Amino acid sequence: MVHKTGANGTEGAWAMGRVTALSVDGTHRFSKIRAPRLRLLAGLGVEGDAHAGRTVQHLSRVRRDPSQPNLRQVHLIHEELFAELADKGFAVGAGDLGENVTTQGLDLLSLPRGTRLHLGAEAVVELTGLRNPCVQIDRFQSGLMHAVLDKDAAGNLIRKAGVMSVVLAGGEVREGDRVAVELPEGPAQPLEPV
């Protein structure tokens, strides 16, 4: 934890993690290509990525309503998921599940909607929701969709395939950069699929 002043002018303890991998792809493929750095563009997403844009870019969503706002500009996954999947017999690495940013040391899935992640020196993304795993995951590796879904003690579905965000402040992000977590003010609202 480190003490830092937030956007609202208050000072508090922020959780810290780090970027372990970055991935981008200019075409609509399931997996993305590793890159040593990414440039995030405010209001758009990852420069050169097929999913960048103010309105939806995921093909299934474009077919339904191309005017919807793009709440899935940047996809983040916690690296710890890869070890969990390896224990279940799956070989999954950075970029394989289509994420742009792989993090370590942060429980991304437990963060509330509206959380801001400060990536490196300038870039800031705001969490909009959970990635809703689809059949493409099973096409990548048979049985993987079941492995990224779980149930909590109350029987509620847990989606582990990462979180989605929009870019509030652009900037360059590099492997090894720190990730600082700024929680939103007010009551926490859990992430829902977007």
Tally the domains of the chain.
Answer: 1
Three-state secondary structure string covering 114-160: CCEEEECCCEEEEEEEECCCCCHHHHHCCCHHHHCEEECCCCCEEEC
Judge whether 189 lies within some domain: no
Judge whether 193 lies within some domain: no
pLDDT at 26: 97
| The pLDDT of residue 1 is above 50 | no
Rounded mean pLDDT of 21-29? 97
Judge whether 185 lies within some domain: no
Could you tell me the residue range of the domain that residue 36 belongs to?
A: 2-6+16-180
Say if CB 111 and CB 121 are below 8 A apart: no
Judge whether 101 lies within some domain: yes
| Domain CATH code at residue 85 | 2.40.33.20
Please tell me the distance from the alpha carbon of residue 177 to that of residue 9, in angstroms, as a whole number.
Answer: 24
Judge whether 190 lies within some domain: no
Please tell me the distance from the alpha carbon of residue 36 to that of residue 34, in angstroms, as a whole number.
Answer: 7
Judge whether 188 lies within some domain: no
166: nearest Cα among 37, 74, 40: 74
- Read off the pLDDT of residues 130-164 as tens digits, 9 standing for 90 and up: 999 888 999 999 999 999 999 999 999 999 999 99
Say if CB 117 and CB 74 are below 8 A apart: no
* pLDDT band per the 50, 70, 90 thresholds, residue 48: very high
pLDDT at 158: 95
Judge whether 70 lies within some domain: yes
Judge whether 186 lies within some domain: no
